Amino acid sequence: MTEAFDAVDVIATKRDGGVLTDAQIDWMIDAYTRGAVAEEQMSALLMAVFLNGLTPSELNRWTAAMIASGETLDFSGLSRPTADKHSTGGVGDKITLTLTPLVACFGVAVPQLSGRGLGHTGGTLDKLEAIPGWQAVLTNQQMTSQLDSLGAVICQAGAGLAPADRKLYALRDVTATVACVPLIASSIMSKKIAEGTGVLVLDVKCGSGAFMADLAHARELAQTMVGIGTDHGVTTRALITDMSTPLGLTAGNGLEVAEAVEVLAGGGPADVVDLTLALAREMLDAAAERLEAGVVAGSAEATRRAEELRSADLAAALKDGRAMDIWRQMIAAQGGDPSAELPQSRHTDDVLAEDDGYLTSLDALKVGVAAWRLGAGRARKEDVVQGGAGVVMHAKPGEQVRRGQPLLTLHSDDTGRFARAREALDGAWTIGDAEPSPSSLIMERIVK
């Protein structure tokens, strides 16, 4: 087969700060996916992009080419509008578990295609697999059927979605080109757009436990992703949320499922409840916006549905059991037993406060690394995680603690892991005499 372009010419254009044409981008992504462009050539292009960036038009085309590398899902036949959420990853982030059934209570289908954890950030599928019998893998037909009947599904993304991204992601990891906003944004958005959702709400984490540690970079990533989604016809908005402190009081797979169930039962930590409600409100409002945008003359039904979504009492759906009902049905539909006991680690180890005072900080990254070392996470994709491992936090910043009081409880099946987890927690918290000023969980809202 005669190729349309020479990879060396494409690389040289971007190396010298030029703008790639649509045809060059389409060919380069396609040729790399099918093996006609060598790893070292794509590595060179990734580094050129890392150093020189992509224009908005290049980035949109790059993302479109990644989407076109595989299959796309189509939910247009559903009787419900669709809305999805994506988090850039953090510590104790179990929001997908609470948010998906909550939004589904109001007639909006949530096709939540999720992944596994790597390093200190937990994976939604790992958490749900702590539930006995639950299966992550569904066919496209099974997923669509569950969305139509329940309005809620959390499952593994199929291998056919954006296969170019899988190859590029692995290559970026070994070529020091991971920390590049255009490449991060296109990686996330190519998969999310290929999933076929009409609405996408992004939870962009910012702080020590997040990929973006400072607000300026988190804002740049959020704005870039919102722009890509909007330009591809997906109603997209983002919240930048604080990940300097772990979310909730647990970090670890089964531990986080138990906390999510507590929220669905009308309780749970305030920060988990607040963020669940905030993201749900954005999803319903964006779905309403999309319904209104499609209204034709005389279409009173769409207008009525939009008004219902905007006036939905989300807090009540957590309190009165509606969200819990959908959770139980969703888990059962995928082979899980929602009433089964969750795995518990064989051993625990309490970490005690050294002083009296106010807990003024609790570092999310250090807690996440500790949970990882306890067995809740993996260093390689093939590693097996422990369902009961992780960290339980007994206080959050702003609360008073007493010397000798347990601050954290470490959970693991292997007592040999405790020493390294404690090493990770060195300097993880501060205790002061003065009560710290409260901080806002939601830092900014981004729309285009």
Strand 357-362 with 235-242, pairing:
unpaired
- Asked if residues 237 and 226 have their Cβ atoms less than 8 Å apart, the reply is yes
Q: How far apart are CA 391 and CA 7, in angstroms?
A: 48
Instruction: For residue 187, indicate whether it is catalytic.
Output: yes
Domain match, 175 and 296 both: yes
Marked catalytic residue, from 26, 84, 165, 271: 165
Instruction: For residue 191, indicate whether it is catalytic.
Output: yes
Q: How far apart are CA 218 and CA 206, in angstroms?
A: 6
Domain match, 189 and 309 both: yes
- Asked if residues 97 and 260 have their Cβ atoms less than 8 Å apart, the reply is yes
Find, among 139, 305, 75, the residue nearest to 84 by Cα: 75
Phi, psi of 200, rounded to the nearest 5 degrees: -135, 125
pTM exceeding the 0.85 threshold for the entire prediction = yes
In a domain, 418, yes or no: yes
Instruction: For residue 86, indicate whether it is catalytic.
Output: yes
Phi, psi of 415, rounded to the nearest 5 degrees: -65, -20
SS3 state of residue 299 = coil
Q: How far apart are CA 291 and CA 303, in angstroms?
A: 7
Marked catalytic residue, from 186, 187, 244, 412: 187
Instruction: For residue 127, indicate whether it is catalytic.
Output: no
In a domain, 340, yes or no: no
Phi, psi of 221, rounded to the nearest 5 degrees: -65, -45
In a domain, 152, yes or no: yes
- What integer best gives the mean pLDDT of the chain? 94
Number of domains within the chain: 3
Helical (H) or strand (E) element with 391: strand 390-393
**Least confident segment among 7-21, 82-96, 176-190, 373-387:** 373-387
Percent of the chain with pLDDT over 70: 98
What's the burial of 358, exposed, middle or buried (CB within 10 Å: 0-12/13-18/19+)? middle
Residue 36, domain extent: 7-53
Choosing from 333, 359, 381, the residue where a domain stops is 333
Marked catalytic residue, from 14, 80, 86, 305: 86
Q: Tens digit of pLDDT for each residue in 308-327?
A: 999 999 999 999 999 999 99
Marked catalytic residue, from 191, 290, 366, 373: 191
Choosing from 333, 366, 394, the residue where a domain stops is 333
What's the burial of 441, exposed, middle or buried (CB within 10 Å: 0-12/13-18/19+)? middle
Residue appearing with tokens 């059927």: 145
Q: Tens digit of pLDDT for each residue in 76-134?
A: 889 899 999 999 999 999 999 999 999 999 999 999 999 887 667 778 999 999 999 99
Domain match, 38 and 145 both: no
SS3 state of residue 378 = coil
Q: Kindly state the DSSP code that residue 386 receives in the 8-state scheme.
A: P
Find, among 240, 221, 211, 218, the residue nearest to 90 by Cα: 211
CATH number at residue 27: 1.20.970.10
Domain match, 113 and 238 both: yes
What's the burial of 435, exposed, middle or buried (CB within 10 Å: 0-12/13-18/19+)? middle
Domain match, 122 and 246 both: yes
Q: Tens digit of pLDDT for each residue in 33-71?
A: 999 999 999 999 999 999 999 999 999 999 999 999 999
